[in-house]
Structure 1
Amino acid sequence: MGRKVTLATCSLNQWALDFDGNLERILKSIEIAKAHGAKYRLGPELEICGYGCADHFYESDTLLHSFQVLRKLVESPITQDIICDVGMPIMHHNVRYNCRVLFLNRYVSTPILLIRPKMLMANSGVYREMRWFSPWKQSRQVEEYFLPRIIQEVTGQDTVPFGDCVLSTKDTCIGTEMCAELWNPNSPHIQMGLDGVEIFTNSSASHHELRKADQRVNLVKSATIKSGGIYLYANLRGCDGDRVYYDGCAMVAINGDIVAQGAQFSLNDVVGMDMKRTRPVFSFPLSHTLVKVDFSLSSGDDIHLPTHQPITWHFNSPEEEISLGPACWLWDYLRRSEQAGFLLPLSGGVDSSSTACIVHSMCVLLCQAVEGGNSQVLEDVRRVVGDDSYRPEHPRELCGHIFTTCYMASENSSEDTCSRAKGLANQIGSTHMNINIDMAVKGILGIFSVVTGRWPQFRVNGGSHRENLALQNVQARVRMVLAYLFAQLGLWARGKPGGLLVLGSANVDESLTGYFTKYDCSSADINPIGGISKTDLKSFLLYCVEQFQLTALTGILSAPPTAELEPLTDGQVSQTDEADMGLTYSELSVIGRLRKISKCGPFSMFCKLIHTWKDALSPAEVAQKVKHFFRMYSVNRHKMTTVTPSYHAESYSPDDNRFDLRPFLYNTRWTWQFRCIDNQVALRQGLHCHRILRLNGGGRRGSQI
Structure 2
Amino acid sequence: MGRKVTLATCSLNQWALDFEGNLERILKSIEIAKARGAKYRLGPELEISGYGCEDHFYESDTMLHSFQVLRNLLESPICQDIICDVGMPIMHRNVRYNCRVLFLNRKLLLIRPKMMMANNGNYREMRWFSPWNHLRQVEEYFLPRMIQEITGQDAVPFGDCVLSTKDTCIGTEICAELWNPRSPHIQMGLDGVEIFTNSSASHHELRKADLRVNLIKAATTKSGGIYLYANQKGCDGDRVYYDGCAMVAINGDIVAHGAQFSLNDVEVITATLDLEDVRSYRGESEPKCCYRVKVDFFLSDDDDVLTDLSVHQPIEWCFHTPDEEISLGPACWLWDYLRRSGQAGFLLPLSGGVDSASTACIVYSMCVLLCQTIEDGNSQVLEDVRRVVGNDSYHPQDPRELCGHIFTTCYMASENSTKDTRRRAKDLANQIGSTHMNINIDVAVKGILGIFSVVTGKWPQFHANGGSQRENLALQNVQARVRMVLAYLFAQLSLWSRGKPGGLLVLGSSNVDESLTGYFTKYDCSSADINPIGGINKTDLKSFLLYCVEHFQLSILRDILTASPTAELEPLTDGHVSQTDEADMGMTYSELSVIGRLRKISKCGPFSMFCKLIYMWKDVLSPLEVAQKVKRFFRMYSVNRHKMTTVTPAYHAESYSSDDNRFDLRPFLYNTSWAWQFQCIDNQVIHQKSLLNL
Do they superpose with TM above 0.5? yes
Residues 256-275 of structure 1 show CA distances to partners (whole Å, capped at 9, x for unaligned) of 00000110000000000100
| Counterpart in the other structure of 1:257 | 253
Query: Identity of counterpart residues, as a percentage?
Result: 84
What code does the residue aligned with 2:433 have? G
| Counterpart in the other structure of 2:264 | 268
C-alpha distance in 2 between matches for 1:4 and 1:419 = 63
Does residue 493 of structure 1 match 2:479?
A: no
| Counterpart in the other structure of 1:604 | 608
C-alpha distance in 2 between matches for 1:684 and 1:537 = 36
What code does the residue aligned with 1:289 have? Y
Residues 650-680 of structure 1 show CA distances to partners (whole Å, capped at 9, x for unaligned) of 0001111320000000000000000000011
Does residue 83 of structure 1 match 2:88?
A: no
The secondary structure found in structure 2 opposite 1:235 is: strand
What code does the residue aligned with 2:445 have? V
C-alpha distance in 2 between matches for 1:304 and 1:400 = 51
Which of 410, 432, 440 matches 2:414?
Answer: 410
C-alpha distance in 2 between matches for 1:324 and 1:464 = 46
Which of 209, 212, 220 matches 2:205?
Answer: 209
Which of 294, 297, 319 matches 1:295?
Answer: 297
| Counterpart in the other structure of 2:71 | 71
- Count of paired positions: 686
What code does the residue aligned with 1:93 have? R
Matches within 5 A, 1:126-525: 126-280=122-276, 287-300=289-302, 301-302=305-306, 306-525=310-529
C-alpha distance in 1 between matches for 2:84 and 2:364 = 39
C-alpha distance in 2 between matches for 1:265 and 1:349 = 27
| Counterpart in the other structure of 2:103 | 103
Runs of 4+ in 1 over 2 A off after TM superposition: 281-286, 301-308
Does residue 92 of structure 1 match 2:70?
A: no
C-alpha distance in 1 between matches for 2:105 and 2:631 = 64
Is the 2:512–2:537 contact (alpha carbons within 8 Å) kept by the matching residues of 1? yes
Is the 2:11–2:231 contact (alpha carbons within 8 Å) kept by the matching residues of 1? yes
What code does the residue aligned with 1:217 have? V
The secondary structure found in structure 2 opposite 1:23 is: helix
What code does the residue aligned with 1:615 have? D
C-alpha distance in 1 between matches for 2:99 and 2:311 = 34
Is the 2:248–2:256 contact (alpha carbons within 8 Å) kept by the matching residues of 1? yes
Give, in angstroms, the shift of residue 308 of structure 1. 3.6
The secondary structure found in structure 2 opposite 1:211 is: coil
Is the 2:256–2:312 contact (alpha carbons within 8 Å) kept by the matching residues of 1? no
Give, in angstroms, the shift of residue 688 of structure 1. 1.8
Is the 2:518–2:637 contact (alpha carbons within 8 Å) kept by the matching residues of 1? yes
Give, in angstroms, the shift of residue 304 of structure 1. 6.0
Residues 425-451 of structure 1 show CA distances to partners (whole Å, capped at 9, x for unaligned) of 000000000000000000000000000
Give, in angstroms, the shift of residue 537 of structure 1. 0.2
Is the 1:278–1:305 contact (alpha carbons within 8 Å) kept by the matching residues of 2? no
Matches within 5 A, 1:672-683: 672-683=676-687
Give, in angstroms, the shift of residue 306 of structure 1. 3.9
Does residue 574 of structure 1 match 2:578?
A: yes
Give, in angstroms, the shift of residue 493 of structure 1. 0.5
Is the 1:254–1:308 contact (alpha carbons within 8 Å) kept by the matching residues of 2? no
C-alpha distance in 1 between matches for 2:377 and 2:688 = 67
Is the 1:341–1:501 contact (alpha carbons within 8 Å) kept by the matching residues of 2? yes
| Counterpart in the other structure of 1:120 | 116
What code does the residue aligned with 2:34 have? K
Seen in structure 2, the aligned counterparts of structure 1 residues 320 and 303 have a Cα distance that, compared at 3 Å, is closer
C-alpha distance in 2 between matches for 1:93 and 1:307 = 44
C-alpha distance in 2 between matches for 1:164 and 1:2 = 30
Is the 2:642–2:668 contact (alpha carbons within 8 Å) kept by the matching residues of 1? yes
| Counterpart in the other structure of 1:587 | 591
C-alpha distance in 2 between matches for 1:375 and 1:417 = 40
What code does the residue aligned with 1:81 have? D
Matches within 5 A, 1:537-552: 537-552=541-556
C-alpha distance in 1 between matches for 2:593 and 2:83 = 48
C-alpha distance in 2 between matches for 1:191 and 1:626 = 47
Give, in angstroms, the shift of residue 105 of structure 1. 1.9
Residues 257-298 of structure 1 show CA distances to partners (whole Å, capped at 9, x for unaligned) of 000011000000000010001112769965011111111111
C-alpha distance in 2 between matches for 1:542 and 1:535 = 11
Is the 2:271–2:311 contact (alpha carbons within 8 Å) kept by the matching residues of 1? no
| Counterpart in the other structure of 1:703 | none
| Counterpart in the other structure of 1:653 | 657
What code does the residue aligned with 1:299 have? D
What code does the residue aligned with 1:642 have? T
Residues 225-255 of structure 1 show CA distances to partners (whole Å, capped at 9, x for unaligned) of 1111100000000001000000000000010
What code does the residue aligned with 1:74 have? L
Give, in angstroms, the shift of residue 687 of structure 1. 2.1
Is the 1:278–1:306 contact (alpha carbons within 8 Å) kept by the matching residues of 2? no
Give, in angstroms, the shift of residue 56 of structure 1. 0.4
What code does the residue aligned with 1:242 have? D
The secondary structure found in structure 2 opposite 1:610 is: helix
Seen in structure 2, the aligned counterparts of structure 1 residues 371 and 305 have a Cα distance that, compared at 3 Å, is closer
| Counterpart in the other structure of 1:631 | 635
| Counterpart in the other structure of 2:282 | none
What code does the residue aligned with 1:19 have? F
The secondary structure found in structure 1 opposite 2:565 is: coil
Q: TM-score, normalised by structure 2?
A: 0.98
Q: TM-score, normalised by structure 1?
A: 0.96
Q: Is the deviation greater in 671-680 or in 303-312?
A: 303-312
C-alpha distance in 1 between matches for 2:502 and 2:301 = 54
What code does the residue aligned with 2:59 have? E
Give, in angstroms, the shift of residue 307 of structure 1. 4.3
Give, in angstroms, the shift of residue 2 of structure 1. 2.3
Seen in structure 2, the aligned counterparts of structure 1 residues 303 and 18 have a Cα distance that, compared at 3 Å, is closer
Residues 483-502 of structure 1 show CA distances to partners (whole Å, capped at 9, x for unaligned) of 00000000000000000000
What code does the residue aligned with 1:290 have? R
C-alpha distance in 1 between matches for 2:659 and 2:48 = 28
Is the 2:272–2:309 contact (alpha carbons within 8 Å) kept by the matching residues of 1? no
Is the 1:141–1:165 contact (alpha carbons within 8 Å) kept by the matching residues of 2? yes
Is the 1:196–1:286 contact (alpha carbons within 8 Å) kept by the matching residues of 2? no
Is the 1:197–1:285 contact (alpha carbons within 8 Å) kept by the matching residues of 2? no
What code does the residue aligned with 1:243 have? R
Is the 2:45–2:174 contact (alpha carbons within 8 Å) kept by the matching residues of 1? yes
| Counterpart in the other structure of 2:561 | 557
What code does the residue aligned with 2:89 have? P
C-alpha distance in 1 between matches for 2:482 and 2:452 = 15
Give, in angstroms, the shift of residue 299 of structure 1. 2.4
What code does the residue aligned with 2:212 have? R
| Counterpart in the other structure of 2:12 | 12
Is the 1:3–1:302 contact (alpha carbons within 8 Å) kept by the matching residues of 2? no
C-alpha distance in 2 between matches for 1:514 and 1:275 = 49
Residues 430-478 of structure 1 show CA distances to partners (whole Å, capped at 9, x for unaligned) of 0000000000000000000000000000011100000000000000000
Is the 2:190–2:286 contact (alpha carbons within 8 Å) kept by the matching residues of 1? no
The secondary structure found in structure 2 opposite 1:413 is: coil
What code does the residue aligned with 2:215 have? L
C-alpha distance in 1 between matches for 2:288 and 2:60 = 38
Is the 1:202–1:233 contact (alpha carbons within 8 Å) kept by the matching residues of 2? yes
What code does the residue aligned with 1:115 have? I
